[in-house]
């Protein structure tokens, strides 16, 4: 896969100067760039490394003096990360899944496989499943009974899609993602200590020890268009209604979504975030890494949580939160500053106590 510098600039809609016919084989960090590489040097801090590299061309910040860096050509971008999205899309060589259905794959006779679908070694497609045109199913994947995948989906190796899951177009699942496991739903014949503690916010009471009985998951998982889930991400089936992920949302590695939860559109859930069951998450929500969300609450549109936040109650739209339990970020910052002052405060109090004690003894 190769492009000219002009082709890349045209795809980005970015200005380019110099020898635009240079052939590009890959992108590279400035220090590692060679003659056929496009050096990604989109900030002035990379200028020195770029000048010492073997690069002939680079992506630079606006106004950069490309000739002073010894380059033959350069593309200029105003928004580096946006340019990175376009360049990496063009230069991505994929995962090498061969076209067609591998001889070792097991595809049920009732499954519907559209045109240009690739299915890798040892993968299984269940009864009445449907896979849309242009989709790529990697090695050792499982697509369950009556599951539906839209067009141009990509399942990396060892992804499993449970029965009756409905997934839109351009879905991407990283290795080991599990979509459609049963929800973590159990109940005791009589009121349990957990229920008592939750109700009283205190003691578990005199509830006796009991065995847990399983509540089966009759719902499935619904996923919109342009959704991506990370490696070892898990999304549980709903109990009665479906668990759902809105179009454009992205889930990082090791994210867990509990049964019945609804995640809105264009949300970003970062690594190791855990969302309990029956949570309503609005649109354009960002949950930082290791955020935890308690069950049966809502998180409004546009909410941003800092890493490690534990959300135990409803969050109104647009709020930026942090901490355990979560509070407004500015409040959490004040609390943190106060905590850091506690040792000094304790010393001051001890000094005051000694002073007061001495004065009382002398009176």
CA 64, CA 201: separation in Å to the nearest integer?
61
Burial class (CB in 10 A: 0-12, 13-18, 19+), 199: exposed
CA 214, CA 212: separation in Å to the nearest integer?
7
End-to-end Cα distance, the chain? 91
CA 319, CA 82: separation in Å to the nearest integer?
26
Extract the tokens encoding 102.
């591998």
Q: Would you please indicate which residues are annotated as catalytic (active-site) residues? A: 259
SS3 of residue 89 by DSSP: helix
Extract the tokens encoding 278.
């029956």
The DSSP result for 116-179, as a single string, is T-EE-TT-EE-TT-EE-TT-EE-TT-EE-TT-EE-TT-EE-TT-EE-TT-EE-TT-EE-TT-EE
Give the number of other CB atoms < 10 A from CB of residue 332: 18
């Amino acid at each position: 896969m190769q492009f000219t510098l002009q082709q890349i600039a045209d795809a980005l809609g970015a200005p380019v100067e110099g020898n635009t016919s240079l052939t590009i084989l890959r992108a590279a960090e400035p220090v590692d760039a060679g003659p056929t590489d496009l050096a990604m040097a989109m900030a002035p801090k990379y200028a020195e490394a770029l000048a010492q590299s073997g690069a002939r061309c680079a992506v630079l910040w606006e106004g950069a003096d490309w000739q002073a860096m010894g380059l033959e050509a350069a593309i200029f971008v105003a928004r580096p990360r946006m340019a990175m999205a376009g360049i990496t899309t063009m230069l991505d060589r994929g995962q090498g899944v061969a076209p067609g259905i591998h001889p070792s794959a097991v595809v049920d006779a009732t499954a519907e496989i559209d045109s240009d679908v690739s299915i890798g070694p040892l993968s299984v497609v269940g009864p009445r499943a449907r896979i849309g045109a242009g989709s790529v199913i990697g090695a050792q994947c499982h697509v369950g009974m009556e599951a539906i995948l839209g067009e141009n989906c990509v399942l990396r190796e060892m992804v499993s899609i449970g029965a009756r899951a409905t997934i839109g177009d351009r879905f991407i699942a990283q290795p080991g993602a599990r979509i459609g496991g049963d929800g973590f739903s159990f109940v005791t014949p009589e009121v349990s200590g957990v229920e008592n503690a939750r109700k009283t916010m205190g003691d578990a009471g005199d509830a006796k020890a009991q065995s847990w009985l399983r509540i089966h998951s009759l719902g499935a998982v619904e996923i919109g268009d342009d959704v991506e889930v990370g490696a070892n991400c898990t999304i549980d089936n709903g109990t009665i209604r479906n668990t759902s992920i809105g179009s454009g949302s992205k889930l990082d590695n090791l994210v867990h979504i509990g049964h019945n939860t609804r995640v809105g559109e264009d949300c970003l859930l970062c690594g190791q975030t855990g969302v309990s069951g029956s949570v309503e998450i609005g649109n354009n929500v960002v949950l930082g890494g290791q955020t935890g969300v308690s069950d049966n609450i809502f998180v409004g549109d546009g909410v941003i949580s800092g890493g490690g936040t534990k959300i135990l109650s409803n969050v109104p739209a647009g709020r930026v939160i942090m901490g355990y339990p979560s509070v407004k970020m500015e409040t959490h910052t004040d609390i943190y500053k106060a905590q850091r002052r506690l040792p000094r405060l304790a010393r001051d109090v001890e000094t005051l106590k000694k002073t007061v004690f001495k004065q009382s003894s002398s009176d």
